[in-house]
Amino acid sequence: MKITKIETTPFAIPYRKPLRFASGEVEVAAHVLVRVHTDTGLIGTAEAPPRPFTYGETQASVKGVIDSIFAPQLLGMSPLAREAVHAKLDRTVGNPAAKSAIDMALWDLIGQSLGVSVTELLGGYTDRMRVSHMVGFAQPGEMVEEAERVRDRYGITTFKVKVGRRPIQLDVDVCRALRAALGDDVELYIDGNRGWTASESAAALRALEDVGLLFAEELCPADDVLGRRWLAAQSRIPLYADESATKQGEVTRELLAGAAHGVSIKTARTGFTYSQRVLSQCSGLGVEVVIGNQIDGQIGSLCAAVFGSAFELTSRRAGELSNFLDMTDDLLAEPLRIERGELRVPQGPGLGLRLDEDKLAHYRQD
Ligand code: MUC
Ligand code: MG
């Protein structure tokens, strides 16, 4: 099997309501569909969600770097030669969503060619993931209403609360209101997207100590090196690295610095190949992980679920798999479903996804 073409299709699907957080907001899913064609007729598919405020990638840059730099280097290669493919991709720094979409499309091809699911190829631990829902910035009452609606409609009982606003009391009040409204049975954790200083983070964590948070993600910037260590040393709530740990070297730095106690793994930025390596790093060190989400559409969320359900460590905790619920539409012929708080993972072959070509024709931007 040889790669004959890599097709990049920009598409845009609006959100019903924007997701707002400390480092930005997303109103439209302006993503890139990546399809790797082969001489066997099989096509591997994945989705790249560019997040300009986090990684500097845009829809145009993802398409541009794949079309002009990556695709010409990969033509003629076998999809099985992932190590050789990554050696080529890694000559270029950055561009995590573009590289990851290619990686996941290759795994889709390998699964299809063997007639097995990618989740079995990766580890085959289970066929479902518990789902965690992200609640973006709004007034406290609206954030509580959203969490209640999602709990009642989808059975979701784990919520990630976006924080990082000033004054910190605003977010402290939101977390208290959510705990009061939802009760002690739901799981809550927070994500600051680098919005606070280390001392603001420490004050917020102290104020939230009795709210019963699972963990707190990326409260302050990775470059606040000593501030983060100071924070991690005193926090009674585990701190998780997200934007500060986007690849293996960064994971090592954050963990060895004592600046983080856990790591968010996002297939949108480390694909399957490097997500597996980050996971091995964490499990070898006895570090907890969470399956994160880069505000993926259904294809990206399916990839996150395929990875998360493949391993015991990643499926212990609810994964962030529900951002697509706020999109007005999507590209899958058989949409993902969340029921009783769980997402069942399609069982292949490959990623087990089928595109709705009419929808793609409608939403494509080229
Ligand atoms: C998250 O966990 O931070 C927001 C920005 C981004 O890159 O991902 C999301 C969710
Ligand atoms: Mg995060």
- What ipTM was assigned to the predicted interfaces of this complex? 0.98
In sequence order, which ranges of 215-322 are alpha helices (DSSP H)?
A: 225-234, 248-256, 267-270, 273-285, 298-308, 312-315
Whether ligand 1 lies within 6 angstroms of the CB of 246 is answered as no
Q: Which residues pair with 13 in a beta bridge?
A: 29
pLDDT of residue 43: 98
Ligand 1 nearest atom to the CA of residue 218, by list position = 3
State whether the beta carbon of 194 lies less than 6 angstroms from ligand 1.
Answer: no
pLDDT score for 332: 97
Architecture, CATH, for domain 3-115+357-363: 2-Layer Sandwich (3.30)
Q: How far apart are CA 116 and CA 348, in angstroms?
A: 6
Residues tagged active-site: 162, 191, 217, 242, 266, 294
Amino acid at 86: H
Nearest CA owner, ligand 1 atom 10: 294
User: What is the sign of the dihedral through the CA atoms of 122, 357, 291 and 150?
Assistant: negative
Of 94, 98, 119, 96, nearest to 107 by C-alpha is: 119
Q: Identify the CATH class of 120-344.
A: alpha beta
Residue-level pLDDT at 348? 87
Going from the Cα of 25 to the center of ligand 1, the distance in angstroms, rounded, reads 10
Q: Is the CB of 193 under 6 A from ligand 1?
A: yes
C-beta separation of 304 from 266 below 8 A: yes
- Do the beta carbons of residue 3 and residue 38 sit within 8 Å? yes
- Both structure tokens of 81: 């030669």
Q: How would you write the pLDDT of the chain (366 residues) with one tens digit per residue? A: 999 999 999 999 999 999 999 999 999 999 999 999 999 999 999 999 999 999 999 999 999 999 999 999 999 999 999 999 999 999 999 999 999 999 999 999 999 999 999 999 999 999 999 999 999 999 999 999 999 999 999 999 999 999 999 999 999 999 999 999 999 999 999 999 999 999 999 999 999 999 999 999 999 999 999 999 999 999 999 999 999 999 999 999 999 999 999 999 999 999 999 999 999 999 999 999 999 999 999 999 999 999 999 999 999 999 999 999 999 999 999 999 999 999 999 988 999 999 999 999 999 999
Burial class of 23 by CB neighbour count within 10 A (0 to 12, 13 to 18, 19+): middle
CB of 305 closer than 8 Å to CB of 332: no
pLDDT at 307: 98
What number of H helices and E strands is found in the chain? Answer: 16, 13
Return the ligand 1 atom nearest residue 54 CA: 7
pLDDT at position 91 is 98
CB atoms closer than 10 angstroms to residue 284: 8
CA of residue 231 to ligand 1 center, whole Å? 21
Listed by start position, the domains of the chain span: 3-115+357-363, 120-344
187 lines ligand 1 (CB under 6 A): no
The pick from 215, 220, 294, 317 for probing ligand 1's pocket by mutation, whose C-beta has the most ligand atoms within 8 angstroms, reads 294
**Which of ligand 1's atoms lies nearest the C-alpha of 217?**
2
- Ligand 1, atom 4, lies closest to the CA of 294
- Tokens 């930005």 correspond to what residue? 24
Nearest listed ligand to the Cα of residue 245 = 2
Alpha carbon of 316 to ligand 2 centroid (Å)? 19
Ligand closest to CA 215: 2
Exposed/middle/buried for residue 128 (C-beta within 10 Å: 0-12, 13-18, 19+): middle
Tell me, using a 6 A CB cutoff, whether residue 21 lines ligand 1.
Answer: yes
pLDDT at 265: 98
Probe ligand 1: pick from 53, 217, 242, max atoms within 8 Å of CB? 242
CA of 354 to the centre of ligand 1 (A): 26
| Cβ atoms < 10 Å from Cβ of 1 | 16
Task: Name the CA dihedral angle for 331, 333, 338, 342, rounded to a multiple of 10 degrees.
Answer: -100
Residue 175 parent element (H or E): helix 168-182
